Amino acid sequence: MADKDTIICRCEEVTYQDLIDTASKYKCSARELKLRTRASMGYCGGRTCRNIVDKAVSNVKDKNREQVSLKYQPPVRPIQFRDLGGWKNE
């Protein structure tokens, strides 16, 4: 597994140890861990760290409880290339 000083969420600079400590202290769900540490709340919307946040919670929580994993959240809404270039559709 990851070293305790390994940065898991690059956007919010959350380390693996931060995730484990918070999950152990509060016995929280993945969503609550996300809210407490801000992991998966950066520019990428959790695309790089969501799975590890889920894994950190599953390592700490009671296996008998149901775990709902986090969903991907797009950081911005889609835009067409013609809108970027100022091209007018005539």
pLDDT the model gives residue 64 = 45
Residue type, 5: D
Give the residue carrying structure tokens 């950081």.
75
Question: Residue 18 — pLDDT band, cuts 50, 70, 90?
Answer: very high
Q: How far apart are CA 80 and CA 71, in angstroms?
A: 24
Query: Whole-model pTM above 0.75?
Result: no
Alpha carbon dihedral 34, 44, 46, 76, in 10-degree steps, equals: 90
